[in-house]
Structure 1
């Protein structure tokens, strides 16, 4: 179920379901109009007009179907991915570009599935998602009849049936018919409210069946995603290598070169000026200690020893101990992820904690690590002023790219005034603690 649905009570879910179904039913009107327009466009493909008309109409239909996907995801908990084949980075100009665009869109199986949806949904939605609304409305009409509307109808000479109850002259004085109308109206309303969530779920599965990706489009989208994430992984690795080379050149390497020169000077001063030689030896010893410290920091930045020895849970706890804010860590991992996933998760948490210290204005941070449904799920919450964003090339965008290499996702919730909640999910398998990699 989606987050919106999870927050609803049993009663609220049933009260809202009929209204949501009615709103989905209203989409049937633009759906019917677009289906007619789409069929008309394809019927004109023998002329230039049809070739020019089809692409914009298809894109308009996709925009409407995206609304369906969004509402179905929010109201039924059934998440439907966009199934369309990837579009080229650049389109050709002129008629050749228009022709290629027409061919690409018309050869995409999702285009025809969208058309089938637009044609069939006005009927399907009436018998699924929208039906509870009409049951409730019919029940209210029955209560209105029993409350006096029945007398108005009969006084005006009308003749009406409500279910199996015949509304006629003298209806208002017939207690049996009045009672039957009230009972029948109540039954219709109860049926509408009680069946609403269930019929919304049925409608969600119908949407997933027709609006979800085909195997062809799923494979194409997967290939595109892997191409992008692997390219980003290569770029990140190259940047990391450049950083290591720069740190070695500017830090430990420079100190080691200076130490070599100093040792050469000491060799010449041993006989002539032993006191000066001893002073240079002391400086060299201090330089060697600093070089060793820089090398350890460099190694810790590549793969911290505590991460290799103790795993992601204890490594994050070690980060918390050295952090300027008050950080509380809860880890309930039953095992250890693969080392690359652990490393990506560790540095992602480290970056989030750094951002919290620099920008959030927070005083406390809570970190929760758990493993659920094949996912390493990490939630970092701070009590800062909020307003964090993934836009503008921020550090969070870099984290998203880092974990994207492992098909991970990052979710951010940071309203103005706080709190900021960053959730990371990385698919992985856990090894037994007894055989965790060392």
Structure 2
């Protein structure tokens, strides 16, 4: 059992409980009043302001669900169209917001969150708080409370013996908090996902938008990769091959007039050919590593872990091989994450967990470094996110200052059937 993880989950539960009971409830009341006042005209001015605040709160909760529980929730709001200025523009904006289904889903969530969300959050915090209260009673606080007939759960605390029994029961509550609080936070995140995730039509729209963006990114990445390969070939292997051709021409003329010099040039040409072959192998390995093609993603990730300068532990639970593009995307994503940790995290250990379930390849990379990673700050994570987007994959990041940092990627895929594997091997051969 991880006591630190349980304590963190309890603190997060308390924060979520406060957000649920205070912020969600207040915003729900303001939203209802503002929408009701649209009839008399005042609401047309106040509703956009209240809706913006509600959306900011909902977006925060989506981010917390992703960072604290690894449950990514896409933002469903449609982009605001071009509107007029002044009073007419405000009325148009109010109409647009009220027509957006996401506005009403947020309102429905703000009904449920102060009840179910608060209960889940306070349960996570209460297991630790109530467990610690048992020790406080045993320390002597029971004495001034015995006259009022205080009960700790099902134990009547009226003596030192019963106070010690309360402390023993408190150990059980603390153990339950350590064991179940992370799961409670995940349940809270799933509840948020059920209400704040885009509805089916909007999810399809977002998917199309994302695929269009990822396609454009893929074209840019492919063009850059082709330019890199062309440059490497021109500056490396091609230059050596040209030099070899010139050397062989010289050797042809020297074979009769100066055999010794021809032999020296021949040895130099043989060395250049070996170097050119080595450069070509490195270039091909960068495009598609042989270990990935021959032994699959699991062994390729293990090979990455062995080459990592930071001590890396790998746990893999996958079933069979997957499509080559998916394996390549996952491989280079893990490679980039391990490189980021080695360069930026100042970490001592890395844990890689890879598993396939429910049609999803999920890879989690955790390090004990200093944290503070941000997708928007150019640490390579944005590139991983773009690469995954091509396959409709997602990336979730949790990296509080001081660490630990956890990066989770998910790629929808299914293991290849024996027939598919046979076809792929035939193509490769």
- After TM superposition, the score normalised by the length of structure 2 is 0.68
How far, CA to CA, are the matches of 1:419 and 1:371 in structure 2? 24
Contact 2:34 2:46 in 1 (8 A): no
Note the aligned Cα RMSD (angstroms).
Answer: 4.5
How far, CA to CA, are the matches of 2:398 and 2:116 in structure 1? 37
| Structure 2 unaligned spans of 5+ | 127-144, 150-180
Which position in structure 1 is the counterpart of 2:32? Answer: 35
1:188-212 deviation line (CA, Å, top 9, x unaligned): xxxxxxxxx9xx9999998766654
| CA displacement at 1:308 relative to structure 2 | 0.8
Which position in structure 2 is the counterpart of 1:374? Answer: 359
| TM-aligned CA distance change 1:233 to 1:389, over 3 Å | same
Task: Work out whether 1:347 is the aligned partner of 2:332.
Answer: yes
Among 203, 222, 228, which residue is 1:237 paired with?
222
Kindly tell me the number of residue pairs found equivalent between the two proteins. Answer: 364
Which position in structure 2 is the counterpart of 1:395? Answer: 380
Which position in structure 2 is the counterpart of 1:305? Answer: 290
Task: Work out whether 1:213 is the aligned partner of 2:205.
Answer: no
1:242-278 deviation line (CA, Å, top 9, x unaligned): 1111111111111111111121222222222221111
Whose RCO is larger (CA < 8 A, sep 6+)? 2
Q: Which has the higher helix share?
A: 2
How far, CA to CA, are the matches of 1:345 and 1:112 in structure 2? 37
How far, CA to CA, are the matches of 1:270 and 1:132 in structure 2? 87
User: What are the residue-to-residue correspondences of 1:36-435 with 2, within 5 Å?
Assistant: 36-41=33-38, 43-44=40-41, 54-66=47-59, 81-87=74-80, 91=82, 94=85, 101-102=93-94, 104-114=96-106, 121=111, 147=148, 211-432=196-417
1:30-56 deviation line (CA, Å, top 9, x unaligned): 422332123323642xxxx87665533
Which position in structure 2 is the counterpart of 1:24? Answer: 20
Tell me the SS of whatever aligns to 1:391.
helix
1:102-147 deviation line (CA, Å, top 9, x unaligned): 55434322234445666xx39x9569967999xx9xxxxxxx9x94
| TM-aligned CA distance change 1:18 to 1:419, over 3 Å | closer
How far, CA to CA, are the matches of 1:131 and 1:411 in structure 2? 23
| CA displacement at 1:398 relative to structure 2 | 1.6
How far, CA to CA, are the matches of 1:85 and 1:131 in structure 2? 30
Tell me the SS of whatever aligns to 1:308.
helix
How far, CA to CA, are the matches of 1:31 and 1:68 in structure 2? 15
How far, CA to CA, are the matches of 1:93 and 1:394 in structure 2? 40
1:33-81 deviation line (CA, Å, top 9, x unaligned): 332123323642xxxx876655334323433555676789999999765
How far, CA to CA, are the matches of 1:100 and 1:239 in structure 2? 44
Contact 1:38 1:115 in 2 (8 A): no
- After TM superposition, the score normalised by the length of structure 1 is 0.67
